[in-house]
Amino acid sequence: MVYKTNILFLISIFTFSISFSQQTEVLKHHMSAAEKELMQNYSRSFTETLPPTGEVRNIAEWESMESVLVAYTGGFGVPVSLIAEMSQDCNITTIVSGASEETTVHSIYSSNGVNLSNCTYVYQDPDSYWTRDYSPWFIAIDDSEVAIINFPYNRPRPNDDDVPILMANELGIDLYGMDVIHTGGNYMCDGYGMAASTDLVWEENTSQTQAEINTKMQDYLGIETYHVTLDPLDEYIKHIDCWGKYLDVDKVMITQVPVTDYRYADYEAVATFFSGQNCSWGYPYEVIRVQAADYNEYDVNPYSNSLILNNKVFVPQTGSDLDDDAIAVYETAMPGYEIFGVYSGSWINSDALHCRTHGVADREMLYIEHYPLYGDLTFQTEYTIEADIVSYGGSPITSEFPKLYYRQNSGSWEEEIMINTSGNTYSATIPALNGNNDVAYYIYAENNNSKTESHPRIGIADPHLFSYSSSNIGLNEFADNPYLNIFPNPANESFSLNTTLATGIVSIYNTNGQQVYTTRFTEPITNINVATFTSGIYFVKVKSDNNSITRKLVVANRLP
């Protein structure tokens, strides 16, 4: 874990203006008075397309990103030192008005340690630097092709509103238009078909029913479960990133305020809501709380407004006494990531780092889809780990990969090459042990284009966990299992095996693959003696003379 606090310094904040009906207003994160008036009769040119065909998946923030999108409007909205740090690992795509402004920005970058070889520019005179709110949402279609979803931005800022179109052209990928007024700050997704927003989405789309909006979220983004919540912040903005954040598929951060704060009950209600929901992997969320100060306009604690970028997390810092505590919360919740504290005097509770940056999905990412084993599981003689692994750029998976890494009871890490069972599906097994056992595991893959990926995302530092106990064995659990767990017992020294095969051979192997017993059968087999067997796990194979194989076991009278 690397903790780098306050290495990113304050920059000057520049303002800019826009003209509405002969009035000049300084643009803010919220709508100005003129913008509110304009929005009452605002007519935007938006074309809704047919939704994508095929299986659609909305790409999550912590997945592989090839670039970060920022905008220059006389300033960047974020410290240049943050841009320099991000540029060490991925591209920086800067929206500028034209060639002259590109030269200006390039000079600023050159003077501030930005990796210039990782800089690209797109021309569009931006209305503002809140790229999170107006940038495109990225999807994967059939887990192979990255595309863009465009939506009507909930501000009357036409240049910003066109950025998804601009980026689709720049990246050379397909663009789909979803006619749901929205904003990126009020949206988070987990990459597995679940997303969340505040009820601002209902308020801004009154011409559509909630059911109609949910249908569009499913059709265009692949969102099967869309959580729409109250807004506990009680500010003008109603953006979910001001108080909540998915840190992973099974982890959600919710701000915590003191009990004396008038909003305390609302914050606790939202935290309770998420704690009562199952994540997309099928078990309850881990709800992580980050502390904010009591309500006071001078206390700024926008800690959920962070950016996850590949293996780094950038957390806004304001000089508050709670800054260090917030960093510690991220370190505990996201082991294996580098956690950076980013100081700026421009952060406010409703507008910080996340609002002013936006990741661009890696069009050639290596993607692993896996539903992990979790919790205290029923005993099995082996545990199958299965995953779909896809190289979006088409580069083949490297030979000897993917691999399953696992350890039991804090022992040494074992590795096993996963076998391609069909299509993009790979499988490997973890053998069971006697007694009470805790298992940690992760999946790792590489392709021939030097892309790597782990599941969970950070791999060995935060593996999947489950447990099991061999003392909780029942007869039915052996009915269709290829393994037999033998506990020699003077009172129960045999087991029976029933097969419908006519004639053949029964063979028993230990976990080293050594044959320890074999017999030919011409009728159902009974009373195989196990008194001479040592305690352990054995593989029982029944093979008929016509080469058909059965693993169906009926075990009786042999439990300790």
Please tell me the distance from the alpha carbon of residue 454 to that of residue 460, in angstroms, as a whole number: 9
16 and 125 fall within a common domain: yes
Of 318, 341, 361, the residue at which a domain comes to its end is: 361
Residue 396 lies in a domain: yes
Q: What's the pLDDT tens digit per position in 19-55?
A: 333 334 457 777 666 776 777 677 677 889 999 999 9
Candidate list 189, 242, 279, 355, residue with the active-site label: 355
Amino acid identity at 175? L
Of 445, 469, 493, the residue at which a domain comes to its end is: 469
380 band by pLDDT with thresholds 50, 70 and 90:
confident
Residue 166 lies in a domain: yes
281 and 405 fall within a common domain: no
Could you give the number of structural domains in the chain?
3
455 and 504 fall within a common domain: no
354 and 415 fall within a common domain: no
355 is catalytic: yes
Residue 555 lies in a domain: no
Mean per-residue pLDDT for 406-430? 96
Q: Inform me whether the pLDDT recorded for 18 exceeds 60.
A: no
293 and 402 fall within a common domain: no
503 band by pLDDT with thresholds 50, 70 and 90:
low
327 and 395 fall within a common domain: no
Q: What are phi and psi of 34, to 5 degrees?
A: -65, -40
Q: What's the pLDDT tens digit per position in 295-338?
A: 876 688 999 999 999 999 999 999 999 999 999 999 999 999 99
Boundaries of domain holding 250: 3-361
347 and 458 fall within a common domain: no
7 band by pLDDT with thresholds 50, 70 and 90:
very low
Q: Inform me whether the pLDDT recorded for 479 exceeds 60.
A: no
Mean per-residue pLDDT for 523-544? 59
Q: Inform me whether the pLDDT recorded for 246 exceeds 90.
A: yes
208 and 194 fall within a common domain: yes
333 and 203 fall within a common domain: yes
Residue 423 lies in a domain: yes
Structure pTM? 0.81
Q: What's the pLDDT tens digit per position in 153-209?
A: 999 899 999 999 999 999 999 999 999 999 999 999 999 999 999 999 999 999 999
- Whichever domain contains 425, its CATH number is 2.60.40.10
Of 446, 469, 492, the residue at which a domain comes to its end is: 469
Q: Inform me whether the pLDDT recorded for 382 exceeds 80.
A: yes
pLDDT of residue 415: 96
- Residue of 37, 31, 239 lying closest to 127 (CA atoms): 31
Mean per-residue pLDDT for 356-377? 97
Please tell me the distance from the alpha carbon of residue 179 to that of residue 490, in angstroms, as a whole number: 73
465 and 487 fall within a common domain: no
- Whichever domain contains 161, its CATH number is 3.75.10.10
How many residues are present in the chain?
560
Q: Identify the top-confidence range among 264-273, 500-509, 518-527, 545-554.
A: 264-273
18 and 141 fall within a common domain: yes
Q: What's the pLDDT tens digit per position in 257-275?
A: 999 999 999 999 999 999 9
209 and 248 fall within a common domain: yes
Q: Which residues are paired to 391 by β-bridges?
A: 366
Please tell me the distance from the alpha carbon of residue 240 to that of residue 245, in angstroms, as a whole number: 8
60 band by pLDDT with thresholds 50, 70 and 90:
very high
8 band by pLDDT with thresholds 50, 70 and 90:
very low
Paired tokens of 380: 């099995």
- Whichever domain contains 487, its CATH number is 2.60.40
Q: Are 65 and 362 in contact (CB under 8 A)?
A: yes
Residue 70 lies in a domain: yes
Q: What is the dihedral of CA 68, 73, 75, 80, to 10 degrees?
A: 20
473 band by pLDDT with thresholds 50, 70 and 90:
very low
pLDDT > 70 in the chain, percent: 79
Residue 559 lies in a domain: no
Q: What's the pLDDT tens digit per position in 75-118?
A: 999 999 999 999 999 999 999 999 999 999 999 999 999 999 99
E strand or H helix at 382? strand 382-391
Residue 322 lies in a domain: yes
477 band by pLDDT with thresholds 50, 70 and 90:
very low
pLDDT of residue 553: 35
Q: Inform me whether the pLDDT recorded for 481 exceeds 50.
A: no
| Chain mean pLDDT for the chain | 85
E strand or H helix at 290? strand 286-291
Residue 508 lies in a domain: yes
